[in-house]
Chain A
Amino acid sequence: SQQGEEDPQALSIQEGENATMNCSYKTSINNLQWYRQNSGRGLVHLILIRSNEREKHSGRLRVTLDTSKKSSSLLITASRAADTASYFCATDAYKDSGGSNYKLTFGKGTLLTVNP
């Protein structure tokens, strides 16, 4: 079942504007990550926020986490055409039976289009 649900499903903005994407999840988590995927290619890790953190920054990215509301947001400031991609949140509430590896569950994703 889908753990993360992104909102909106699609977002179209002009270059230079800010883009905000939201993610909601259903169960308790250890961490939440955001990944970017360019048109049918592999995913690239953007940022990880732990369950005891409320906000994290990385370059033009700002992620917030509200565990009481089971939600996270990703803000991309001063967007560029190169930011056009699908953005997925991923939660890792579960480990494998050996307790070693995280099982990521991805949300449905937000397709961001940045128009030049």
Chain B
Amino acid sequence: DTEVTQTPKHLVMGMTNKKSLKCEQHMGHRAMYWYKQKAKKPPELMFVYSYEKLSINESVPSRFSPECPNSSLLNLHLHALQPEDSALYLCASSQVGLETQYFGPGTRLLVL
């Protein structure tokens, strides 16, 4: 299985809502990533988990809260988001120490 899956595909939420994005992979990768991508822009790294521990936080606002409950799952908890947080959120995974990352199809988030 060489696939990274993300749910949901689309999400619309109000600024007071709490929602979660989910990412799953069964490639045995122990490094997992969250990226944010605005329209017509490149992906920007948000968080990196290595062996289920947070190893990089790119100064992301606390309204985004990542969680890695096990080696296959990565969550991104959302709370009190702003309209400017509307974007495509991409999850990726890789073998620890290797450069090539495998991306999921993304969750398109709209904050109203």
Chain A contributes a number of interface residues (CB within 8 A of B) equal to 27
A33-B100 contact, Cβ under 8 Å, with A42-B90, A101-B94: yes
Does B79 lie at the interface of the complex (its beta carbon under 8 Å from any beta carbon of A)? no
Interface range on chain B (Cβ under 8 Å from partner):
20 to 34
Q: Please tell me if the beta carbons of B55 and A106 are within 8 angstroms of each other in the complex.
A: no
Minimum distance in angstroms from B59 CB to a CB of chain A: 13
Residues of B within 8 A of A106 (CB): 42-44
CB neighbours (8 Å) of A100 from chain B are 31, 50, 55, 96-97
The A-B contact count (CB < 8 A) is 69
Residue of A nearest to B97 (CB): A100
- Minimum C-beta distance from B30 to chain A (A): 9
- What is the predominant secondary structure among interface residues of chain B facing chain A? strand
Contact between A96 and B42 (Cβ–Cβ < 8 Å)? no
Q: Which residue of A lies closest to B42 (CB)?
A: A106
Stretch in contact with the other chain, from A11-19, A43-51, A58-66, A76-84: A43-51
Nearest first, the 8 A-B pairs at minimum CB distance are A106-B42, A42-B103, A96-B55, A43-B103, A42-B105, A96-B56, A101-B31, A102-B99
